[in-house]
Chains A and B, each alone.
Chain A
Amino acid sequence: MQTENYTITDSNLQQLLQALLSSGQKVVAPVRANNKVLFKEIKSASEVCSDHVQTTLSAKHLAFPRTEVLLQYKKTGKEVTINDFPFDAVPQTFLWGSRPCDAGGFAPLDGIFNWDSKDAIYNKRREQLTIISFSCTRHDDACFCTSMGGGPGNTAGSDMLITPAGNGTNIAEIITDKGKALFENYTSLFEEAMGADKEQYLTKIDKVFDTAEIKAKVEAFFESKVWKEQSARCMGCGACAYVCPACACFDIQDDKHGSKGSRLRCWDSCGFQLFTLHTSGHNPRETQARRWRQRVMHKFSYMPDRINVVGCSGCGRCSRACPADMNLAEHLEVIMKMEAEKI
């Protein structure tokens, strides 16, 4: 649908959130915990944190939970009954207060979970999710969304985008049918568009590279020693993948309780040494340097090639979370500046 523009005051915005909560809807929003900000289910509008740049974990768990039950089984003698995933039990959920890079981060996941076979479980959760994002008026030195084709006011992936315009007002953009449905339930809270250009209210982030350029570069430097140099300090944990909105790699494990149990899907990371380890002991990506290269290649070359979407929204979470200060944007910049002879 064509994006529609409205205005909404701060207090009406609060009322909108309150109305969702009062009507018993499941609302997930940024909440402060342990000096970090995380997306959590809220019960009251006062829990919402708004003075942060970015949450530590992305919002991907709303469509791709860190651990989820794919099916359940029960054994009776030699017989097994298998119970399908309870599609009807997936609640409608409103994600409130996400950033444009959170919303944009769903595009790579949508791609992966639908490129040939369709993952109905993911799709069901996605279908039940309405995303109300807030444009960024601040950023930090890990952010690089503009270099990934996004931006502090980018609408892609959000159903409704709110841009704070100062003086107690906000620009509200209704982007999708889901956004429209929400709007229609609470039309009285919105006012006519004020006609102001939202750009002036957004934080400015320089675009330092381009996804097509990066793709060409990382492919050209596949055999370079740069991967080893950059990953020298990487410790091979899963932090970068687990905080990332666009990382979709997973493991499948069974959980048994007596004669019953479930098959689970859980997050995994290509940075773990165990990820590719064959049962024979052979490991095709034996070193951290190869695993780091895989992370970058998968996001910036393989995914664009295979599913036509870059596996990164430039949110900077991996750089903030990394205990060894592996800064993705900085690493990409180094590769961008590399000359062919430096391989």
Chain B
Amino acid sequence: MKRLHQIVSELLASGKAKLVIGYEKGTGEKRRPAFISDANEVERLVFDSQCSHNLSVYLTKPEYKHVTEIAVFATPQTMRAVVRLAGENQFQDKKLSFIVMDQDQNALLIEGAEVLANHLGKEKIALSSAQEELLAKFEAMSREERFAYWKEQLSNCVKCYACRAACPMCYCTRCTVEVNQPQWISVPSSLQGNFEYHIMRAMHMAGRCVDCGSCEAACPLGLPLNIITRRMIKDIEASLGPDIVSMDTKSVLNTFQPNDKENFIR
């Protein structure tokens, strides 16, 4: 931790970071996001294997949009999100630094999203055996069984939108669920409306989801949301090739060009 605290102190002292988004001890054994801008508070910060929140989600929240110099503690999941967000031009006015853990659990400072992208490499995050198993179980189901499964699962969704709030890739200033002319997604939670919401979210995540697991982890009802996102990634890879997170590969389903001849997109 000493090295970690030293890096953060230096970032704050030099002004390279005005805000540090890291982790601290939370309820019980939990770790939680910590926001620090005062060098006297660095002792609060921890970074260990318990830390799991994808902190890149805060970088696009209205509360932090105007802060330019931010340092973020980055897990591999967070790195993937940052790189993809940078690829989507979300950090153009930002000067970001990252604190990551190397193989020996030593804190390492990385400055700029491009350097982070190189550090991240092209490795994919392997699924755990439990995750593989769940996916396999789901894939073995018939169409009818799958429908029944999702009917059962989604009937529990209360539409609290914690999955959306926790997702680093859900940064739209006006989400489809907040548009009421036309009312794409019905406001109340109902089986049909919940299907609409989750299908809409899946479509907007296709080729963009970084498989960080934040949505599923956030869901208070424990819905297996990652089955949707992981299946989607598999399907995309099967037809369009590997889904590599990097700053220059365009996401597979979404290739916006400023000179697109269709003007609805602008």
Please say whether the chains A and B touch (CB closer than 8 A).
yes
Residues of A bordering B, CB below 8 Å: 33-36, 38, 56-57, 66-67, 141-142, 229, 232-233, 235-239, 241-243, 251, 253, 255, 264, 266-267, 269, 272-274, 287-289, 319-321, 323-325, 327, 330
In whole angstroms, what is the CA distance A264 to B62 when docked?
31
Quick one: given A57-B158, A67-B189, A235-B166, are A325 and B32 in contact (CB under 8 Å)? yes
Query: A56 touching B187 by the CB < 8 A rule?
Result: no
- Which residue in A34, A237, A238 is a CB contact (below 8 Å) of B223? A34
Q: Across the interface, do A325 and B26 meet the contact criterion of CB distance under 8 Å?
A: yes
Within the complex, the shortest CB–CB distance from B35 to chain A, in Å, comes to: 4
Q: Find chain B residues with CB under 8 A from A325 CB.
A: 26-27, 30, 32-33
User: For residue A321, which residues in chain B have a CB less than 8 angstroms away from its CB?
Assistant: 162, 220
A323 to B156, CA, bound (A): 18
27 A–B contact pairs at CB < 8 A? A57-B220, A67-B189, A67-B190, A232-B33, A232-B35, A233-B58, A235-B61, A241-B160, A242-B160, A251-B187, A253-B187, A253-B188, A267-B189, A287-B63, A288-B63, A289-B63, A321-B220, A323-B162, A323-B165, A323-B214, A323-B220, A324-B32, A324-B33, A324-B53, A325-B27, A325-B32, A327-B27
Closest to B218 in A: A323
A266 and B27 contact, CB distance less than 8 A: no
Q: Inside 8 A of A57's CB, which chain B residues have their CB?
A: 158, 220-221
**Cα–Cα distance between A267 and B146 once the two chains are bound (Å):** 28
In whole Å, how far is B223's beta carbon from the nearest beta carbon of chain A? 7
8 Å CB interface, B215-230 against A: 217-218, 220-224
Q: Within 8 Å of chain A (Cβ to Cβ): is B48?
A: no
Residues of B within 8 A of A266 (CB): 187-189
Partner among A38, A238, A323 whose Cβ is within 8 Å of the Cβ of B217:
A323
Q: Assess the A141–B188 pair: CB atoms within 8 A.
A: no
Q: Does B28 contact A (CB under 8 A)?
A: yes
| Bound Cα distance from A274 to B164, whole angstroms | 14
Contact residues, B172-212 vs A (CB, 8 A): 178, 186-190
Residues of B within 8 A of A235 (CB): 57, 61, 162, 165-166
A57→B35 CA distance, assembly (Å): 29
Question: Out of B28, B33, B165, B189, which one reaches A237, CB within 8 Å?
Answer: B165
Q: Does B161 contact A (CB under 8 A)?
A: yes
Cα separation A12 to B189 with both chains bound (whole Å) = 39
Pair A239/B35 contact, Cβ less than 8 Å: no
Chain A CB count within 10 A is highest, among B63, B189, B217, for B63
Partner of A274, one of B26, B63, B178, B217: B178
Within the complex, which residue of B62, B214, B218, B221 is in contact with A56, where a contact is CB–CB below 8 Å? B221
In the complex, the number of residue pairs spanning A and B with C-beta atoms less than 8 Å apart equals 112
Size of chain B's interface in residues, with CB distance under 8 A? 38
A233 touches B161 (CB 8 A): no
Determine whether B16 belongs to the interface, using a CB cutoff of 8 Å to chain A.
no
Query: Assuming the A-B contacts A34-B221, A287-B63, A323-B217, are A242 and B165 also in contact, with contact meaning beta carbons closer than 8 angstroms in the complex?
Result: no
A141–B160 alpha-carbon span in the complex (Å)? 24
Contact yes or no, A243 B220, CB < 8 A: yes
**Interface residue B159 (Cβ < 8 Å from any Cβ of A):** yes
Task: Please report B residues at the A interface, Cβ cutoff 8 Å.
Answer: 26-28, 30, 32-35, 53, 57-58, 61-63, 153, 156, 158-162, 164-166, 178, 186-190, 214, 217-218, 220-224
B35 touches A237 (CB 8 A): no
- In the complex, which of the residues A36, A269, A324 has the most CB atoms of chain B within 10 Å of its own CB atom? A324
Q: How many Å lie between the Cα of A235 and that of B222 in the bound state?
A: 18
Task: Tell me how far the C-beta of A55 lies from the nearest C-beta in chain B, rounded to whole angstroms.
Answer: 11
Contact between chains at B188 and A237 (CB < 8 Å): no
Chain A residues in 8 Å Cβ range of B63: 232, 287-289
Task: Say yes or no: A141 contacts B27, CB within 8 Å.
Answer: yes
A229 to B37, CA, bound (A): 11
Measured CA separation A165–B187 after assembly (Å)? 46
A238 surroundings in chain B (CB, below 8 A): 158-162
Cα of A243 to Cα of B159 in the assembled complex, Å: 11
Residues of the B chain whose Cβ atoms lie less than 8 Å from the Cβ of A253 = 186-188
Which chain A positions have C-beta within 8 A of B27? Answer: 141-142, 319, 325, 327, 330
Please give, as numbers and ranges, the residues of chain A lying within 8 Å of B161 by CB-CB distance.
237-238, 272
Residues in B whose Cβ lies below 8 Å from that of A289 = 63
B222/A237 in contact, CB under 8 A? no
Whether B165 pairs with A33 at a CB distance below 8 angstroms is no
Q: Is the CB of B188 within 8 A of A264?
A: yes
Nearest 5 Cβ contacts at the A-B interface: A266-B188, A323-B218, A325-B32, A237-B165, A321-B220
Closest to A236 in B: B165
B57 nearest CB neighbor, chain A only: A235
Q: Which residues of A contact B218 (CB under 8 A)?
A: 237, 239, 323
Cβ of A167 to closest chain B Cβ, rounded Å: 32
B61 proximity list for chain A (CB < 8 A):
235-236, 288
Whether B220 pairs with A239 at a CB distance below 8 angstroms is yes
**Chain B residue with Cβ nearest A241:** B160
A53: shortest Cβ distance to chain B, in Å?
13
B32 touches A233 (CB 8 A): yes
* Least distance between A284 CB and chain B CB atoms (Å): 15
B153 — nearest CB in chain A belongs to which residue? A34
Q: Which A residues lie within 8 Å of B166 (CB)?
A: 235, 237, 323
Which residues on B sit within 8 Å (CB–CB) of A56? 220-222
